[in-house]
Structure 1
């Protein structure tokens, strides 16, 4: 069975009305509700479903960011992840954190944790970069299945249905591989209170 690494990003909640700072240097984040990037929720859900189907043996959630990113990791754990890794990046370093930096971190952790599958959301709703999965695959020299709307396990690896401009494309990939989750891949489950309590009360 596969070990799955899932990248989760803390972003301003999708329901929050964004306000630009007076000096136009960015958006107001202080006192604003944050949550897990919605596409990353889909990535976590897919990993959990893989574990339920006995495709995956362990799910490791990873988040790069300030101390508040631990809240995002707690949500991933409550959804069904087995372990969480917080790579603390704060202050000016966090403000200038780019997809390539995150990809290098994910690639290194994938090797250290002996992951077989890396799943991230296809893009983050704050910067919309849509680069991390592709860069991670390039750094690892692994095949990639981006914009995945369906993932199936085969004897040889995975069959991935991708959302493309012209409709759908089906590709076959060997493992290890990097995937990015599209909107129609699944419907994420809620992080229930009992799960949160089981995971965090010692």
Structure 2
């Protein structure tokens, strides 16, 4: 089980993960702010690149998401029941949080050529490492918790909705990886936004499951 009581630790983890999920979806503010980023072809890293207007908005949101995710995972590891799958999931979520904070602190530099022929210009910068670690961390966490949800029959928030979010995110990731090896334009901005949205929704599903604080049905 994720947790077996509704004590302060449970509520803290549930709320922290939920706020992290909402903060991680702050990229949608690009449609409300006077920005000129093409959502079809631009990467989200461009929103908080060095010198970009409103960089502080997206950088702050990522920092909040990372700090809360890491704190929630640390509390869960210390206070929640431990099993191989859930421990793996919480450790991976902790890594996601740390990498997301680093992602915000090491922004994309000189993004004037981000829309050029190179599909992934970020890969030539340190920002790529932190982004890769963040995505890998939450992917491992999602796989671990999804497997645990089916094995121990958690509620639908994580077993069904969470699994759907994981599947959508994985499909978007495959889209990006395959397109990286092809010539032409494959709307990678859309793919990345789907990927990040799926990650945010999965965090919300995890928060709902923790908030339920009910034992698994054997």
Normalised to the residue count of structure 1, the TM-score between the two structures is: 0.30
Ranked by relative contact order (alpha carbons within 8 Å, sequence separation 6 or more), the top structure is: 2
TM-score, normalised relative to structure 2: 0.29
Query: Which structure shows the higher strand fraction?
Result: 1
More helix by share: 2
